[in-house]
Chains A and B, each alone.
Chain A
């Protein structure tokens, strides 16, 4: 397909989005990430039945936590797509990058 997506997107592989914990995402923000998004399988297609549904709920909770501490809940998002949707993957990477670029850098980023 030879699709390209922004190079600033760093991929962290997990067996299922259900493995992603709130503390993992918070650590990413503490380490200076400007935004984090989860890409899970389509709803109803989870190999572990409800992993992506759990991830969706965690993202909602994370939004609340990030709003509370002033980082901003809009910096996290959840997307669902199948592994055959490379086009969509690249599109989402661009969409999220543009959204975060508009929001500016993570306000809690440590100065190096």
Chain B
């Protein structure tokens, strides 16, 4: 899932200063699962903003809507009947959703209420960690299911580096060294001979270095 963090309250309040009719938009997908921007978080933030503005003597009207998805036109279009009742949209969806709603309603500003952070997993209830960077050329078969692009601070392909100590990364002693995990896995599966193979330089053009990416399936186009 895409994991996001809510922006600091002061930053949100500052963005909303000129407005008194706000549509607070949530998303039922990833940001609901990572407890950042689902209907529950929309209700809490709406309440918080109302309380703050009431205290400041500048009351605000907030519409609370959570779409099934903010990254699909069929759901984004459902905002059409009422989006113009509001001066501005404050979105708790990920960066994709924020932009996509803005593209559909060019006469309305869509402000971000979250910082979109990473592609991750729920490690335990209330804890999410990063697993993928969407580099566009997966090598998990070579590293036995542990991604060095994401989980190694240097994204190195022939590790570990000299900063790995006791299985931990030098960047932060709480971060496991990805290459330590990979070597453990090679050992577990009795595949140490594979570990000794030198990995060539990675072609990063499939990643962000090649500009924004696009996927097309002609058979699905209507």
Stretch of A6-14, A22-30, A89-97 that contacts chain B: A22-30
Interface size class of A (residues with CB under 8 A): 10 to 19
**CB pair B40 A26 closer than 8 Å:** no
When the two chains form their complex, are residues A68 and B55 in contact, meaning their CB atoms are under 8 A apart?
Answer: no
Contact A29 B43, CB 8 Å, known A68-B9, A69-B9: no
Assess the B44–A70 pair: CB atoms within 8 A: no
| Main DSSP-derived SS at the A contact region | helix
Residue A86 interfacial (CB < 8 Å): no
Number of contacting residues on B, CB 8 A?
14
Looking at chain B's contact residues, the main secondary structure is helix
Q: How far is the CA of A26 from the CA of B54 in the complex (A)?
A: 13
A69–B40 touching, CB < 8 Å:
no
Instruction: Say yes or no: B54 contacts A108, CB within 8 Å.
Output: yes
Contact string, B40-62, partner A, CB cutoff 8 A, digits 1/0? 10011001111110111001000
- Is A46's beta carbon under 8 Å from chain B? no
Pairs across A and B, CB under 8 Å, 16 listed:
A23-B43, A26-B48, A26-B51, A29-B47, A30-B47, A30-B50, A65-B44, A68-B48, A69-B48, A69-B49, A69-B51, A69-B52, A70-B56, A108-B52, A109-B54, A110-B54
